[in-house]
Amino acid sequence: MADAPPVGPRRLGRALGVLRQSRLALVGALLVGFWVIVAVFADDCVISPACWTGARSYTPTPWLAVYSFSESVGPPLTGPAPAHWLGTDRNGRDLWARLAYGARIILTLAPLGVGLALLVGIALGLVAGYFGGLVDEVLSRLIDALIAFPQIILYLVIIAALGPSAANVVLAITLAGAPGIARLVRGLTLDLKTRDFVAAAQTRGEHALYIMVVEILPNASGPILIDAMLRVGYAVFAIGTLGFLGLGLPPPSPDWGSIVNAGRKFIQAGHPWDALWASLATATLVVGLNLLADGWSEETSRYR
């Protein structure tokens, strides 16, 4: 008989142990952790309440990003140099600063959009899977209809209709991701609701909401978390794609897709740095998330 999954600190210790033993998972953690540190410590926002509240009086003090991402601080279109580690763009803005602040945008919007998609998708999937019947039929057809749309088309339709903004990018990620999550949760719920612990809760007279949230959802959390990590990677790509197409955040916002779009015009002129660094940043973050998902999957499979 398999050992029961560890709980609390023991479970965390096992997960960290897998990261130490799995080189792929460790590399993923390092890649994601690097960009998280860059995003958090680009300036002093993390310790400035005025920054948290969005006060107009707040003036950032650079930390890891030595320069402002929006101001010209050197000659345009220069390559990597001691003064500007990754070079400057066509407006003389420091590329490292733009990547650092772009990481903050990516690592805010992508998890936020996926988090909201999780709330919607989990709610729909639990209700459809647990109640079944007509409720399941109606919700499943709705989910299938939304999944039938290619995600990139759905992104473009939403942003084109509502306009480019951070809120609309999050909304697009939420609406595009929720149906897939709902389908996953529905399938897990259909399996778990036949288990003895659910029957015991029903015998005790527990409310359906209690059974779904307390009994079923925690037991389905492993696959959901793995899927969420992968979806954050997809969301990073989506934000980059929208920025590249000019449908992301308006300028001078330094999202990585818009940096690639602006920099591609100068590749043949011998200045590939804008497009190269932003593309590498996107690739390393997405690969890191995928490797982390693989590591987490390895950890949870030990206790099946």
The pLDDT tens digits of the residues spanning 210-219 come to 999 999 999 9
Listed residue (176, 142, 145, 183) closest to 158, CA to CA: 176
For residue 165, the enclosing domain spans 104-301
Hey, which residues does 43 pair with through a beta bridge?
62
Q: Is 6 helix (H, G, I), strand (E, B) or coil?
A: coil
CA distances to 86, 139, 156, 239, 279 from 258, rounded to whole Å, are: 17, 37, 15, 10, 11
The answer as to whether 22 is a domain residue is: no
Q: Which residues of the chain have pLDDT under 50?
A: 1-8, 303
pLDDT in tens, 176-210: 999 999 999 999 999 999 999 999 999 998 999 99
The answer as to whether 252 is a domain residue is: yes
Listed residue (278, 223, 247) closest to 96, CA to CA: 278
The answer as to whether 2 is a domain residue is: no
The answer as to whether 30 is a domain residue is: no
Residue type, 49: P
Q: Which helix or strand (DSSP H or E) is residue 275 part of?
A: helix 273-301
Give the count of domains, the chain.
1
What CATH number did the domain enclosing 130 receive? 1.10.3720.10
The answer as to whether 202 is a domain residue is: yes
Can you tell me the distance from the alpha carbon of 49 to that of 44, in angstroms, rounded to the nearest whole number?
10
CA distances to 5, 54, 172 from 153, rounded to whole Å, are: 41, 33, 10
Per-residue model confidence (pLDDT) at position 1: 35
Alpha helices in 69-165 (DSSP H): 95-131, 133-147, 151-162
Q: What is the pTM of this model?
A: 0.88
Task: Decide: 32 and 291 in contact? Cβ < 8 Å.
Answer: no
Per-residue model confidence (pLDDT) at position 62: 86
The answer as to whether 238 is a domain residue is: yes
The answer as to whether 233 is a domain residue is: yes
CA distances to 182, 206, 234 from 118, rounded to whole Å, are: 8, 25, 14
b vs e for 256-266, b when ≥16 Cβ sit within 10 Å of the residue's Cβ?
bbbbbbbbeeb
